[in-house]
Amino acid sequence: MTISASTGIKRVLLSWSSGKDSAWTLYQLQQDPMVEVVGLLTTFNEEFNRSAIHGVRQQLLGLQAEAAGLPLIEIPLPWPCSNEQYESLMGTALDNARAQLKIDAVAFGDLYLEDIRSYREAKMQGTGLELLFPLWQIPTDQLARQMIAGGLKAAITCLDPRVMPEHFAGAQFSTQLLEDLPEAVDPCGENGEFHTFAWDGPMFSKPIAVVGGEVVKRDGFVYADLLLEEGP
């Protein structure tokens, strides 16, 4: 019997990208007395040992999970990875999470892209798992400022140079950044304009001390590496 069966509390697995939206979703779920987040689910490129899309070192995702006090379920993705491979690996991971963590629901940090939400709903149909979207349709300018005012700290790790100048790579997510973004760029980067790594905030017990590393161009995107800061 799961906790939810006896108390009504949902045991939730959170899809984790390492970025600000995932981190703020975690914070929102932590405020809900009827929810218990029991784990984070993430994917990484097994060739480069970095998170898919965001390009963050696998080690840093582990430190985020540690700071959140949660187990991290890692799905290694081959490179390149077909949709069929991705869906098979994700399905296996969810089956394992249901067995080991007794989850009732899976939460996502999606903001407003209907096609992505519809894809998730279609793939989860028939699993018996509830889907949660705590940030859904909150205006992104409002949401971005809420995150910053709430103490979330994040750095841009990947951007699309077709819509954003390259000098934003590695920049901190801040009110100044919001003022400086090109007008066509969504304040939360929801259209793929940029991705971030959350290194501090109210969802964590401690900050992840990172420093900026090399900035490189790869596959049409600009990546800003983050390194774990060395102690004294």
More confident residue, 3 or 225: 225
Q: Would you say residue 39 lies in a domain?
A: yes
d(CA 208, CA 99): 31
Read off the pLDDT of residues 147-156 as tens digits, 9 standing for 90 and up: 999 999 999 9
Tokens standing for residue 179: 């003022």
DSSP state of 230: P
Q: Would you say residue 226 lies in a domain?
A: no
pLDDT band at residue 87, thresholds of 50, 70 and 90?
Answer: confident
Mean pLDDT of 77-106: 88
Element (H, E) at 77: strand 72-77
Cα 69 to chain center, whole Å?
16
What is the reported pLDDT for 6? Answer: 56
Mean pLDDT of 160-182: 98
Q: What residues are paired with 90 via a beta bridge? A: none
Closest CA to 205 of 30, 68, 72: 68
Burial grade of 122 (CB within 10 A; 0-12, 13-18, 19 or more): exposed
Q: Per the structure, how many domains does the chain have?
A: 1
CATH code at 159? 3.40.50.620
What is the reported pLDDT for 114? Answer: 94
Q: What residues are paired with 222 via a beta bridge? A: 159, 217
Mean pLDDT of 163-178: 98
What average pLDDT is seen over the chain? 92
pLDDT band at residue 231, thresholds of 50, 70 and 90?
Answer: low
Q: How far is CA 201 from CA 64, 88, 141, in A?
A: 11, 33, 19
Mean pLDDT of 23-33: 98
Q: Would you say residue 199 lies in a domain?
A: yes
Q: Would you say residue 164 lies in a domain?
A: yes
| Residue 3 clears pLDDT 60, i.e. is over it | no
- Helix, strand, or coil here: 22? helix
pLDDT band at residue 83, thresholds of 50, 70 and 90?
Answer: confident
Q: How far is CA 91 from CA 18, 98, 123, 124, in A?
A: 21, 11, 9, 9
Q: Would you say residue 225 lies in a domain?
A: no
Q: Would you say residue 215 lies in a domain?
A: yes
Q: Would you say residue 224 lies in a domain?
A: no
Q: Would you say residue 194 lies in a domain?
A: yes
| Residue 137 clears pLDDT 70, i.e. is over it | yes
- Helix, strand, or coil here: 150? coil
| Residue 30 clears pLDDT 60, i.e. is over it | yes
Mean pLDDT of 7-16: 93
Show the domain range for 98: 3-219
Tokens standing for residue 152: 């979330």
